[in-house]
Amino acid sequence: MNKQNEFKPYVPPEKKTSELTVVSIATGIILAVVFGAANAYLGLRVGMTVSASIPAAVLAMGIIRVILRRNSILESNIVQTIGSAGESVAAGAIFTLPALFLWAAEGKTEKPDILEITVIALIGGLLGVFFMIPLRNALIVKEHKNLPYPEGSACAKVLLAGEKSSNASSTVFKGMGLGAVLKFVIDGLKLVKSEIAFKSKYFAGEIGTQVYPAVLSVGFICGPRISACLFSGGVLSWLVIIPLIVLFGENSFVASETFSIGEIFSQSGAGGIWSTHIRYIGAGALAAGGIISLIKTLPLIFKTFAGSVNSLASSGSKAELKRTEKDMNMKFVLVSIALLTVFMWLVPAVPINFSGAVTVVVFGFFFAAVSSRMVGLVGSSNNPVSGMAIATLLAATLILKLSGIAGIRGMVSAIAIGSVICIISAIAGDTSQDLKTGFILGSTPQKQQIGEIIGVISSAVAIGATLYLLDSAWGFGSEELAAPQATLMKLITEGVFEENLPWTLVLCGVFAAIFAQCARIPVLPFAIGVYLPIHLTSCIMIGGLIRWAVEKRSKDNTSKNIATTKGTLFCSGLIAGEGLVGIALAILAVMKTESIIDLSAYISPVVSSVGAIGVLALTSILLIFSCAYKKSHTE
């Protein structure tokens, strides 16, 4: 890099300030566990997680500067670095590992114990961090002007803004409080219904909406276009395909060996048809959407991989490095990767053989580079982690079958391999965003990388208990926790090993995704919408419409950015608050004590329905108000 054009970070390399301290580590670990649990709950409900980087940065700023009265922006950045790892570990784990619980529920295998989940998450997370370390110079430093890393740059702006004001953190805390209270009212006290449905005896379709603040928040964060794509998938499933299935297949037995379509509909309504038929169509759409997203990025994948190999080859002797150029020791990194590979192969808690371990390392490094480049261009929310996991899963199942491993043993091993790759991809993307933030602020890369490892370890320990708790409370695959990606991974694995998929339904979903791609509709959101209940995507659509209204009434780009940023922070708080209370209620459900606070018997159905509408209206109004108030206050 030309000295004249060399980037100058906020904190100069020659200046030393507090970074990796006891306070930053402890605070970061708490945030990692909190955001990991909240995103696990959210992802299992709606099939999507939200980036924790920006809310973690805001809370880090509030805790370090406002509460603890410490004055180091780099210390706040370490808190954000550790804290954001929880969301990525959770995302990788929930997209795959619940498949093992689903097989256990079917009596095919034993439930994975907490140690197995923790070790799988830990291996994937550590490999994701270690694979990114040799890529930092090539992707973060040399490509600084070409790869913006949206969340990483936004986190840097938030932390820099915190040098002057701490209003943003109060917005997140207000959202957390509201989300926690409303979740407790809906699912704890059960004073209002969680869902409002509208149906007619003259039409087999059904529409309605949930009233959860976190689901509404997903729509606001994703924006009107993505929300509309999700909703359009739900409209296709619930208002087109389900009525057609009921109309033309009333006496047929397409996906049920016991009951006809007419009997299923008379007993369970549109929801029964969704459970027995639409989920297979949605699985086909999700699989095709993931693969399409992956194919579209192939040129970028090969370019990134070639650049990564070149950067490794050229990282030879170096002169005395500045503080802002110091990475973890490369020999330590390579030895750690080798040890994790052997550990993965030999430890009984991980159901992966030697060929599976080699598959993980090869695909892992490949997809770590891809994931970093992708989030650098389009952000973490658009990172095709599911597509990478599907590609790995297909390769792993074929390798396992060729090596003679079949049956449930082979399927469990394939899911374990897919889980590690999924977590590697998610963590590599998160590490990239964090390193970008640190590059702009002037952090020491080595200390950030250590912080990332600490975040991975704490999140991996917590995710096993979180998954066990949620499964014990409601069960994966239930209405409460649909776990769409994990169900998809399960269906793909079974399809390869047992050849028992209802291919007509699956292929209908595949061609629906191809249609969406041809129509230039974002295919993955559309496919998720096809899979999920329309009551959920309707609530997301309401959040998207609120975002659209907020942007429309803004006078210029500056005011629009202020309004949407504050709204996003408020929504992040809503998600975190609801997720934490959801975990607390799950504990009560496991202990069989949830009935103690259940007041539904004292509320009439009419009052409960009206209350549900009131909760939805209240959340919407307060969200709009938070955007408007914060905009005018800031300006």
Per-residue model confidence as pLDDT tens digits over 89-122: 988 898 889 999 999 999 888 888 899 999 999 9
Q: Is the pLDDT of residue 522 over 70?
A: yes
Q: Is the pLDDT of residue 383 over 80?
A: no
Per-residue model confidence as pLDDT tens digits over 436-459: 999 989 999 999 999 999 999 999
The reported pLDDT for the residue numbered 554 is 83
- Which neighbouring-strand residues pair with 195? 210
118: Cβ contacts below 8 Å, ≥ 6 apart: 460, 461, 463, 464
Q: Is the pLDDT of residue 480 over 50?
A: yes
Which stretch of DSSP H or E encloses residue 197? Answer: strand 195-200
Residue type, 426: A
Query: Please, are residues 109 and 408 in contact by the beta-carbon 8 Å criterion?
Result: yes
The reported pLDDT for the residue numbered 633 is 41
In a domain, 458, yes or no: yes
Which stretch of DSSP H or E encloses residue 368? Answer: helix 354-378
Strand, helix or coil for residue 379: coil
pLDDT over 70, % of the chain: 87
Q: Which two tokens stand for residue 266?
A: 């008379």
Q: Is the pLDDT of residue 254 over 70?
A: no
Q: Is the pLDDT of residue 630 over 50?
A: no
- Band (pLDDT 50/70/90 cuts) for residue 123 is very high
Q: Which two tokens stand for residue 459?
A: 């999140």
Q: Is the pLDDT of residue 247 over 90?
A: no
Per-residue model confidence as pLDDT tens digits over 11-24: 898 888 889 999 99
CB atoms within 10 A of CB 504: 12
In a domain, 228, yes or no: no
Tell me what the pLDDT averaged over the chain comes to. 83
Please list the helix, strand and coil fractions of the chain in percent, rounded to the nearest 5, in that order. Answer: 75, 0, 20
- Compute the distance between CA of residue 71 and CA of residue 22 in angstroms, rounded to an integer: 15
Q: Which tops the pLDDT comparison, 414 or 403?
A: 414
Mean pLDDT of 26-32: 91
The reported pLDDT for the residue numbered 635 is 41
Per-residue model confidence as pLDDT tens digits over 288-305: 876 776 677 667 556 655
Mean pLDDT of 170-198: 88
Q: Is the pLDDT of residue 81 over 70?
A: yes
Least confident window among 255-264, 524-533, 619-628:
255-264
Query: Please, are residues 392 and 423 in contact by the beta-carbon 8 Å criterion?
Result: no
CA distances from 456 to 137, 280, 424, 434, 546 (A): 22, 34, 11, 13, 35
In a domain, 237, yes or no: no
Nearest Cα to Cα of residue 20 among 445, 456, 460, 459: 445
The reported pLDDT for the residue numbered 44 is 86
Query: Please, are residues 611 and 191 in contact by the beta-carbon 8 Å criterion?
Result: yes
Per-residue model confidence as pLDDT tens digits over 552-570: 888 888 888 888 888 888 8
In a domain, 241, yes or no: no
Mean pLDDT of 16-36: 90
DSSP states of 423-446:
HHHHHHHHHHHHHHHHHHHT--HH
Q: Is the pLDDT of residue 202 over 90?
A: no
Residue type, 55: P
- Compute the distance between CA of residue 563 and CA of residue 500 in angstroms, rounded to an integer: 50
Q: Which tops the pLDDT comparison, 33 or 311?
A: 33
Per-residue model confidence as pLDDT tens digits over 309-330: 565 555 544 456 788 888 888 8
Mean pLDDT of 404-418: 87
Query: Please, are residues 208 and 534 in contact by the beta-carbon 8 Å criterion?
Result: yes
Q: Is the pLDDT of residue 5 over 60?
A: no
In a domain, 283, yes or no: no
Q: Is the pLDDT of residue 133 over 60?
A: yes
What is the domain extent for residue 85? 16-175+328-484
Mean pLDDT of 340-366: 87
- Compute the distance between CA of residue 614 and CA of residue 532 in angstroms, rounded to an integer: 24
- Which neighbouring-strand residues pair with 207? 198
The reported pLDDT for the residue numbered 301 is 56
Mean pLDDT of 18-39: 89
The reported pLDDT for the residue numbered 71 is 73
Per-residue model confidence as pLDDT tens digits over 425-440: 889 988 998 999 999 8
Query: At 48, phi and psi to the nearest 5?
Result: -140, 145
Mean pLDDT of 144-156: 76
Q: What total number of domains does the chain contain?
A: 1
Per-residue model confidence as pLDDT tens digits over 235-245: 999 999 999 99
400: Cβ contacts below 8 Å, ≥ 6 apart: 353, 355, 356, 406, 410, 413, 414
Q: Which tops the pLDDT comparison, 394 or 216?
A: 216
The reported pLDDT for the residue numbered 528 is 79
- Compute the distance between CA of residue 100 and CA of residue 418 in angstroms, rounded to an integer: 12
Nearest Cα to Cα of residue 611 among 45, 182, 219: 182
The reported pLDDT for the residue numbered 372 is 79
Query: Please, are residues 50 and 132 in contact by the beta-carbon 8 Å criterion?
Result: no
- Compute the distance between CA of residue 476 and CA of residue 458 in angstroms, rounded to an integer: 24
**Placement of tokens 């509404």 in the chain:** 216
- Compute the distance between CA of residue 445 and CA of residue 141 in angstroms, rounded to an integer: 11
Q: Is the pLDDT of residue 256 over 50?
A: no
